[in-house]
Amino acid sequence: MDANYHYDAIIIGAGPAGITAGIYLSRARMKTLLVNEGTIGGQLVLTHEIANYPGVESISGYQLANIMKKQAKSFGCEIKGNVSVMNIELSGDIKMVTLSDGTVSTSNVLILSPGGRSRTLGVAGEDNFKGKGISYCATCDGDFFSDKEIVVVGGGNSALEEAVSLTKYATKVTIVHQFDYFQAFENAIEEARNNPKIHFIMDSKITGFYGNENLESVDLKNLKSGETNNFRTDGTFIFIGYLPNTEFLKDKVDLNKWGEIIVKNDMSTNIEGVYAAGDSIAKRYRQVTTAVSDGTIAALTASGYLNELKVKQKQLITL
Ligand SMILES: Cc1cc2nc3c(=O)[nH]c(=O)nc-3n(C[C@H](O)[C@H](O)[C@H](O)COP(=O)(O)OP(=O)(O)OC[C@H]3O[C@@H](n4cnc5c(N)ncnc54)[C@H](O)[C@@H]3O)c2cc1C
């Protein structure tokens, strides 16, 4: 194996979690490679405005991602964008990563931070109005819908809890759900039902999104009668599930039934030398701040492991 391709640490996924891990590891003088499938920054670059990242009153996600990237590079972190992971070998002491650019790299430590994506409805107009009236995150975007009338799609705990939280901003929240019952805890259902700002349209689904610059209305189809009508709305929040980008990790590392990576508090996985961070791990809150926090913990735990490894290797040489 070409020694140029051996690293102390390889990080898979350059969203806020992976870049933060890159900053910490490189600054600790660990030879670090950060690889990413798409644009460096992950979901951050899809975010029009970040207004809840401490210390920065308002910034576009793209700008924040570029600052993070520059910071990681300034400490010597090697960053490769637009490459996919073709294969990973985690079983031995040395981890091996094969990339779509044909390179095979090895490392003592691997950090998994591939993030995730919200489930989408996959109906006409959804892609056009993402960030222009369609959102998948109430914490991120609720504030932009103050004094507006909005729709929430979904019937699980997230949909009901987020609908209640959105009533802090919106004057009216209409929950649209495909069944005539909810798949949520009784207290979440009760809280939503008791909120005077929340209205319900059951047995229905959205079949299209319409507007000019921003979203203005949706088509609603009643699944029992088959009737469709156009419904005016300023915004639509979709909470129909979340998908971690962990398909490539199946049978490699312990995942839960939702495909989320199982980690301990120090971000270690079930495989020695393999850590995980960010939206792809099993956790409740998925934000830039939580991703950055996980990335920090993963990098510090990994640094401790690498330092111990270096001490052991020195002892072996002097024996
Ligand atoms: C539209 C939108 C708005 C948001 N607004 C806010 C907000 O205002 N405030 C806030 O705090 N949070 C917001 N979030 C959430 C926030 O962006 C995420 O919580 C955060 O980006 C998660 O960081 P991460 O590093 O775990 O993963 P991600 O940001 O998802 O990054 C993961 C990266 O890994 C790459 N990857 C995946 N699989 C592989 C692979 N096999 N090989 C190589 N690379 C791979 C992906 O392409 C991606 O670049 C928003 C999210 C969205 C979608």
Distance 15 CA to ligand 1 centre (A): 5
Over the chain (319 residues), what is each successive 10-residue block's mean pLDDT?
A: 75 98 98 95 86 93 96 98 94 94 95 96 96 90 95 94 95 98 93 97 98 97 97 97 94 97 98 98 94 98 95 80
Read off the DSSP letter of residue 173: E
Question: What does each C-alpha distance from 76 to 8, 24, 253, 302 come to in angstroms?
Answer: 13, 11, 29, 17
The atom of ligand 1 lying closest to the CA of 47 is 3
pLDDT for the residue numbered 311: 87
Pocket flag, ligand 1, residue 84 (CB < 6 Å) = yes
pLDDT for the residue numbered 319: 67
Q: Dig out the tokens for 164 from the structure.
A: 């209640």
Q: What distance in Å separates the CA atoms of residue 120 and residue 118, rounded to the nearest whole number? A: 6
pLDDT for the residue numbered 307: 94
Is the pTM here over 0.75, yes or no? yes
For ligand 1, atom 48, name the residue with the nearest CA: 42
Pairing mode of beta strands 235-238, 149-153? parallel
Q: What distance in Å separates the CA atoms of residue 228 and residue 230, rounded to the nearest whole number? A: 7
Residue in the structure block whose two tokens are 């120090």 = 266
